[in-house]
Structure 1
């Protein structure tokens, strides 16, 4: 399956963002359970992060990202890319 990466930048204050972090963590755990090999994290510098996951197509990846609580609740701006692995 192809890999995808969502690069995100926070657009709300930290207290609002933090309200949705538990739901985001549960969402990532669900992606892992469904076989998407998801990983999520944030930059050491304040203000953004990344979600890496497998999906069958860009359309499926877009649907997966649309279900992210951070996206659904307007906490982040993001870009979604298909990631081509060169070396494994």
Structure 2
């Protein structure tokens, strides 16, 4: 299954962002439970992060990303890319 990466940039103040972090964590755990091998994290410098996950297609990846509470609550902007793994 192809890998995808969502690169995020925070666009709200930290207290607003932090309000949705528990829902984001639950969303990522649900992706893992459904077999998408998701991993999420943030940059050492405040202001953004990344979600790495598997999906069957770009269309599925886009649909999954739209379910992220950080997206639904307008906390981040993002770019979505298929990541072509060269070495495992």
TM-score, normalised by the number of residues in structure 1: 1.00
Structure 2: stretches of 5+ with no match in the other structure: none
Matched residue pairs, number? 88
Shift of 1:2: 0.2
What is the match of residue 76 of structure 1?
Answer: 76
Structure 1: stretches of 5+ with no match in the other structure: none
Q: Distance in 2 between matches of 1:77 and 1:65?
A: 11
Shift of 1:33: 0.2
Shift of 1:25: 0.1
Shift of 1:47: 0.3
Q: Deviations over 1:3-35 (max 9, x none)?
A: 000000000000000000000000000000000
> What is the Cα-based RMSD across aligned positions, in Å?
0.2
Counterparts of 1:6-85 in structure 2, within 5 Å, are 6-85=6-85
TM-score, normalised by the number of residues in structure 2: 1.00
What is the match of residue 86 of structure 1?
Answer: 86
Structure 1 consecutive aligned stretches of length 4 or more whose deviation exceeds 6 Å: none
